[in-house]
Amino acid sequence: MTEHAKHRLSSKDYVMVFLGLMVLTGLTVALSYTGLGEGMRTFLAFAIASAKALLVALLFMHLRFEPRPIIIFAVTPVVLAVLFILAISPEVGVVR
């Protein structure tokens, strides 16, 4: 399977991804200077960061072309990490 992945992406594709990442970075920096509310700003910042991470993982890291075992090992920790971060937030933050 890796054999196929090798030539799926050309240098031009990589440059396109790169430009996408640059635009998103610019966007998130620009947003941070606007007067948006705290909640909205945080949400947008993380939405953009996730989009960027997805771009890097899927295309730079070729995850899109990988077989199932690798995809499982890429997705599981992310799910678990999100779960952990959410589960401990009301605890330390709101209640005490």
Partner 1 sequence: MTNDPQANQVVRAPIHDEPPHPEPTSFWRRWVFSTNHKMIGKQYMMTSIFFLFVGGFLAMLMRWQLAYPWAEIPLIGKLLFPDSGGSMPPEFYIMLVTLHGTIMVFFVVAPLLVGGFGNFLIPLQVGARDMAFPVLNMISYWVFFLSGAVVLTSLFVTGGGAAGGWTVYPPLSVLKEAVPGSGLGMDLWILALGLMWVALTLGSLNFLATIINMRAPGMSWFRLPLLTWAQFVVAVLLLLSFPVAAAGLIMMEADRLIGTSFFLAHGLEIADMAVEAAGGGSAILWQHIFWFLGHPEVYVLILPAMGIVSEILPVFSRKPIFGYKAMVVAMVSIMGLGFIVWAHHMFQAGLNPLMAMAFMTATMMIALPSGVKVFNWLATLWRGSLRFETPMLFALAFVSLFIIGGLTGIFMAALPVDIHIHDTYFIIAHFHYIVFGGSIFAIFGAIHFWFPKMFGRLMSESAGKIHFALTFLSFNAVFFPMHMLGSQGHLRRIADPTVYDYLRPMQDWNVFITLSAFVLGAAQLIFLWNFVWSIFRGKRAEANPWRANTLEWSIASPAPSHNFEEIPTVHRWPYEYSSNGGGERDWIEQAEPITVEASGPVEEGEPA
Partner 2 sequence: MSSTGAHRLLPIGVTGIDNRKLGMWIFLASEVMLFAGLIGSFVNLRAANLVMMTEAAGLLNRPLGALNTFILITSSLTMALAVGAIQRGNRERLRLFLLLTIILALAFMGVKAVEYGQKFSHHYTAHTNLFFSFYFIMTGIHAFHVLVGVIVLSVVLAKANSQKMDALVVENVGLYWHFVDVVWIFLFPLLYLT
Residues at the site binding partner 1, with contacts judged by CB under 8 A? 69, 73, 76-77, 80, 83-84, 87-88, 90-92, 94-96
Residue 36 has phi, psi (to 5 degrees) of: -60, 155
Q: How far is the CB of 53 from partner 1 (least distance, A)?
A: 18
Find which of partner 1, partner 2, none residue 1 binds, CB within 5 to 8 Å per kind: partner 2
In whole angstroms, give the CA distance from residue 69 to residue 92.
35
Q: How far is the CB of 47 from partner 2 (least distance, A)?
A: 10
Q: Is 67 exposed, middle or buried (0-12, 13-18, 19+ CB in 10 A)?
A: exposed
In whole angstroms, give the CA distance from residue 51 to residue 90.
25
Spell 2-13 as b/e; 16+ CB within 10 A means b: eeeeeeebeeee
Residues lying near partner 2 in the complex (CB under 8 A): 1-2, 6-7, 9-11, 14-15, 17-18, 21-22, 25, 28-29, 31-32, 38, 41-42, 45-46, 48-49, 52-53, 56-57, 60-61, 67, 69-70, 73-74, 76-78, 80-81, 84-85, 88-89, 91-94, 96
